[in-house]
């Protein structure tokens, strides 16, 4: 009996580090597609990475696509062009029911009139247990008071980090 219990304990313990690494690598792979779609204004591909609840709240795929296009056009009119995205560490995650929620720290670098703007932000990644597909939620306008309006299952076990002001670096 003791041997069976010990064997079960070892198997369970060996599962967790592997599972954590699998979550991180799965998110890293998905975020590359998300970054690619963002940088190339591939709105159809980008919609595949946006959390379905956001698309539904926007009035469907076509309405969300139009919103994304409008945002991009407004940024271009202001002289803002996103040049690069970087994934930062650490990715934190938790299981909530049948979903996995993760906080994914990212940095975006944008060309703006007179210089460069570096912004640190977090995305929320959401997937079901099999991690077949990840969806992302921008947290720019989210905090602990309103996050459940976007992600009903959010249980607060992950804390949204405080927002950081963007850093402007003047052109030389």
| Domain residue ranges in the chain | 2-170
pLDDT at 101 over 90: yes
Q: Judge whether residue 131 has pLDDT over 50.
A: yes
Which residues are CB-contacts of 113 (< 8 A; sequence separation ≥ 6)?
78, 79
Which CATH number describes the domain made up of 2-170? 3.10.450.100
Given a cut of 60, whether residue 50 has pLDDT beyond it is yes
Query: Residue 44 — pLDDT band, cuts 50, 70, 90?
Result: very high
Q: What is the pTM of this model?
A: 0.84
Please give the pLDDT value at position 1.
53
- Confidence class of residue 20 from pLDDT cuts 50, 70 and 90? low
- Whether the per-residue pLDDT at 110 is higher than 60: the answer is yes
Which of the four pLDDT bands, split at 50, 70 and 90, describes residue 4? very low
Identify the pLDDT of residue 19: 59
């Amino acid at each position: 009996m003791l041997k069976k219990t010990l064997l079960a304990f070892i198997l369970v313990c060996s599962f967790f580090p592997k599972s954590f690494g699998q979550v991180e690598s799965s998110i890293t792979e998905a975020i590359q597609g998300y970054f690619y779609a963002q940088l190339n204004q591939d709105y159809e591909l980008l919609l595949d990475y946006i959390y379905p609840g956001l698309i539904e709240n926007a009035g469907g795929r076509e309405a969300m696509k139009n919103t994304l296009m409008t945002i991009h056009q407004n940024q271009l009119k202001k002289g803002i062009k996103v040049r690069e995205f970087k994934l930062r560490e650490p990715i934190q995650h938790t299981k909530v029911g049948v979903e996995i929620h993760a906080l994914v720290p990212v940095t975006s670098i944008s060309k703006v009139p007179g210089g460069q703007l570096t912004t640190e932000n977090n995305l929320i990644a959401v997937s079901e247990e099999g991690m077949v597909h990840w969806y992302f939620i921008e947290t720019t306008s989210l905090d602990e008071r309103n996050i459940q309006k976007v992600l009903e299952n959010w249980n607060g076990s992950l804390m949204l980090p405080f927002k950081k002001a963007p850093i402007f670096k003047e052109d030389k």
